[in-house]
Amino acid sequence: MAKKESKKKVVLAYSGGLDTSIIIPWLKENYDCEVIAFAADLGQNDFPDAKALEDKALKTGASKCYVLDLKKEFLEDYVWPTVRAGAKYENTYLLGTSFARPLIAKYQVKIAEKEGAYAVAHGATGKGNDQVRFELTYAALNPKLQIIAPWKDPKWHFHSREDAIDYAAAHKIPLNGISKKKIYSEDGNLWHLSHEGGVLEFPEQEHKYEFLKHTATYEKAPNKADHVTIGFEKGNPVSINGKKMGAVELLEFLNKIGGKNACASASRAAACTKLRVARSCTRLTNACSSSCSTRKPCSKPRRCP
């Protein structure tokens, strides 16, 4: 009896959110491949623990799911150097999504090489810079790997998050609270939490801040101030109020106290091909940024972060 030929493997950058949840069965349907999910734990806390995320990926159709704790490396090798440089996009956006992508892609390539995969896949759309961050890192680390980008693939027939939700319902894919009424797309880590979609796509409409998870509104912040002293060594934060802390512990503390006091609430709109309302904090706390909507082209088009 002839031995059954094994299917080619694809490693997907997986978050458990709407897009990557439906990409698992979509890849299997359209590429007849084995899908291996990889999730980077950067402090987003979208699931109770790694096991819950792994279970969801497997139930959705992945053959394996790697969940790696990369929080320390993320802060020490990506966030702190950015803080030392004082780097901010257009003097506002604190690069929360931007500098996480190369780290995710780095370990995705490692897993692809370990598993003998022929391709890597991501859920970034074709209109922003995330696709570039992922794909340039793939190409730099292993140019032999093929790249599958569903949102740019002719086989991908979804045009909105509503379409994706319908597909998930048809395939009985759990969405952890995402619905057509609660349709925000989120991207989070220890450094920030961003939102887009829903009412945020329409600057003329007022939103009710129902999407906030880590920071209070000004109305709910306490009237009494908290005083925090951050100690630095060689440009890196190393202590809070004189107490030495590791990078992860330190930022988790700042996020907690900053969120309580409504830190991370500065809005702006950019005149470019996408309108943004960005919420970012200039201190070491969580910063949520960028809700984008395609509008009329401007006279000097440029990409948004």
Name the β-bridge partners of 38.
13, 66
- Given the residues 15, 21, 185, 280, select the one marked as catalytic: 185
49 is catalytic: no
- Given the residues 15, 19, 279, 291, select the one marked as catalytic: 19
- Given the residues 130, 161, 280, 291, select the one marked as catalytic: 130
- Given the residues 15, 101, 276, 290, select the one marked as catalytic: 101
Name the β-bridge partners of 148.
121
101 is catalytic: yes
Residues 6 or more apart from 99 whose CB is under 8 A from it?
A: 78, 79, 82
Tokens 């996408």 identify what position?
274
Q: Which two tokens stand for residue 134?
A: 């992922």
DSSP assigned state of 19: H
Residue 208: CB atoms within 10 Å: 8
Would you call 257 exposed, middle or buried from its count of C-beta atoms within 10 A (0-12, 13-18, 19+)?
middle
DSSP assigned state of 205: S
- Give me the active site residues, please: 19, 101, 130, 185
